[in-house]
Amino acid sequence: MGHNSPHSSLSSFTSDLRSILSIPLLTKEDTVGYILFFSEKKLEIEEPYPALFDLISFHLGSLLQERQDQDGIKENEERMRDVLENMPIMFFSVDENFKTISWNHECETVLGYSAEEVIGNPSFSFPDLLYPLKSQGKISLDSKVLDVDFKNLELNLISKDGKDKLISLSNVSSGFPQYLPRKWFVGVDITRTKEIERELKSSLKELSDFQTALNAVSIVAITDRQGKIIYVNQNFCDISGYSRDELLGQNHRIINSGYHPKEFFHELWKTISKGKIWKGEIKNRAKDGKYYWVDTTISPILDENEKPYQFLAIRNNITERKETEEKARHAENNLKTLQDRMSPHFLFNTLSIIHSYLQTNPELADSAILMLADNYRFLTDQASKLLVPFDIEWKFTENYLQLLKLRFSDFLEVEIEKEGDFRNCQIPPLTLQPLVENSYIHGVRDKRGKGKIILKATVEGGTTQIVIRDNGNGLKTQNVYSRTIANIAERLKFYLYESEVKIENHPEGGAVVTIRFNYSSK
């Protein structure tokens, strides 16, 4: 009837009743029901009946509550049993002789034995599943283990199909004291977990070995997506001259040599930003100003969206190889230049002019012979060197201009000027003379009227500047002199600090070549 008063609910069928006695059924906390007495006569209740009614009410209420509690417990047990049966971990119980009493579905899934095969089967004992000699830990599965509260004991068990299963087993009997002497165990199949763990350890070992080998021979750096350095190995510090603290947080501009144009690095970033690998050779500059070459591979590290979020750069020092290549190229160029300068045609034309002056101007002829001899001595003694004193290179170029003027005195004017102290200045041999020769060939040789070549050198604040200007027709295309300029610019960058070579039209006509470099060699 619920906890409300029964009188209103019964009014529809108690109109002929003279008396209704309602006794509530009480527990300590609540009213759980009512006992109703009906009579056609009017009754008067006298003492001690009300007290008796209260006693009856309380006891009957307690009995009713107990019955309801028992039904609730039974319902909860059924629900718990269903949960344990279907939970994704092994859950089973045994008696004091290790005979199985309960066995959930996960036990069957992992070990292959059904509940019907193990519960009540005297021939089945859980310790029989132990894999010989492979169980870990100091606890053995005998009767003593039932009284030990252990956690995560790793056991190798044999499943029904003969497979090796690694189980992490725990005794949880202390959590079920109401079910003693039954002993409860939970287990987790960690076979695959351990396999993954072993594979991971093996992979980490291989990765560690690879990293050790890589660090032993390569220069390694990692940057974030903005190019900020977040990792460098010791080889990077050694070759660059910067400490790890000086490099972290910087970008690679800290070692930019200025050798490569901006377009070079633009293409590099364009490639790796698309998630592609970039490979190439880069010339860097160390903290002490020295240059070094690295063979570089930059590999993007991608996030879950296949977008680069870091970049791994692996470099190998190829400075020695590049120097060898440059020396070979330098030797080849020098050999060609030497062959050109010592060719019979060049010698014959020059000697013919000198011979013509023997009668008219013997002093000039003698001077020309000495200049020619000095230049041939330069070609044999100095041209094969990597660097020569600037004054020697200048003298060779000056002699060449004077001989050129001697040959074409009617239509060629030469102006030579040198200002400053060049004693500490060095330069690759055969740098200036080819540029002067190009000014003549491409600038003033075909010019109408008298041509002029100006050669001027200055040194100031450690920087040398050479200007070679002609009054010819100027540059008609950007490719004029390109091969000579490119070769000389390459050599200067290789051997000298902060070198620059450029060619442009002069505002007053003709072309001008400007060379700048730090006069200290690398």
pLDDT of residue 34: 66
pLDDT digits (tens, 9 = 90+) for 345-403: 666 677 777 777 777 788 888 888 888 888 878 887 887 788 899 999 999 999 888 88
SS (H, E, C) 411-463: CEEEEEEEECCCCCCEECCCCHHHHHHHHHHHHHCCCCCCEEEEEEEEEECCE
Pairing relation of β-strands 426-427 and 388-389?
antiparallel
CB 280 within 8 A of CB 322: no
Topology agreement, domain 87-195 and domain 214-319: yes
Residue matched to tokens 């790890």: 244
In whole angstroms, give the CA distance from residue 3 to residue 33: 6
Residue matched to tokens 């971990």: 89
Find how far residue 210's CA is from the centre of its chain: 15
| Residue 139 scores a pLDDT above 50 | no
pLDDT of residue 134: 44
Distances in Å between the alpha carbon of 276 and those of 263, 269, 300, 307?
Answer: 18, 10, 7, 10
| Residue 7 scores a pLDDT above 50 | no
| Residue 219 scores a pLDDT above 90 | yes
Residue matched to tokens 């830990």: 137
pLDDT digits (tens, 9 = 90+) for 154-188: 888 889 998 989 999 888 877 666 555 678 888 99
In whole angstroms, give the CA distance from residue 361 to residue 359: 6
Neighbours of 273 (CB within 10 A): 14
pLDDT of residue 256: 93
Torsion angle, alpha carbons of 473, 479, 480, 481, to 10: 150
pLDDT digits (tens, 9 = 90+) for 221-258: 999 999 999 999 999 999 999 999 999 999 999 999 88
Average pLDDT, the chain: 80
Residue matched to tokens 């041209």: 383
pLDDT of residue 46: 53
Three-state DSSP at 204 gives helix
CB neighbours of 503 closer than 8 A, spacing ≥ 6? Answer: 475, 480, 481, 485, 511, 512, 513, 514
| Residue 505 scores a pLDDT above 80 | yes
In whole angstroms, give the CA distance from residue 249 to residue 256: 16
More confident position, 476 or 187: 187
CB neighbours of 22 closer than 8 A, spacing ≥ 6? Answer: 5, 6, 7, 34, 35, 36, 37
Does domain 87-195 match CATH 3.40.190.170?
no
Neighbours of 48 (CB within 10 A): 8
In whole angstroms, give the CA distance from residue 298 to residue 268: 9
Between CA 247 and CA 251, with CA 250 as vertex, the angle to 5 degrees is 115
In whole angstroms, give the CA distance from residue 113 to residue 168: 18
Mean pLDDT confidence for 316-335:
80
Percentage of the residues of the chain whose pLDDT score is greater than 70: 75
pLDDT of residue 334: 65
pLDDT digits (tens, 9 = 90+) for 18-74: 555 566 666 666 776 666 655 555 555 555 555 555 555 555 556 666 666 666 666
Beta strands in 291-433, from DSSP E residues, in sequence order: 291-302, 308-317, 388-389, 412-419, 426-427
Between CA 68 and CA 74, with CA 70 as vertex, the angle to 5 degrees is 120
What one-character DSSP code corresponds to residue 227? Answer: -
Mean pLDDT confidence for 306-331:
87
Q: CA nearest 220: which of 242, 197, 245, 237?
A: 237
What one-character DSSP code corresponds to residue 384? Answer: T
pLDDT of residue 434: 86
Q: Where are the domains of the chain?
A: 19-81, 87-195, 214-319, 341-518
pLDDT of residue 124: 84
- Could you tell me the fold of the domain covering 341-518? Heat Shock Protein 90 (3.30.565)
Residue matched to tokens 């050129």: 404
pLDDT of residue 285: 92
Q: Residue 318 — pLDDT band, cuts 50, 70, 90? A: very high
Percentage of the residues of the chain whose pLDDT score is greater than 90: 29
Superfamily for 214-319?
PAS domain (3.30.450.20)
Find how far residue 236's CA is from the centre of its chain: 15
pLDDT of residue 13: 47
pLDDT digits (tens, 9 = 90+) for 266-312: 999 999 999 999 999 999 999 998 889 999 999 999 998 899 999 99
Distances in Å between the alpha carbon of 115 and those of 102, 118, 141, 170, 271?
Answer: 7, 5, 21, 20, 62
477-504 burial, b for 16+ CB within 10 Å, e for fewer? eeebbeebbebbbbbbbbbbbebebebe
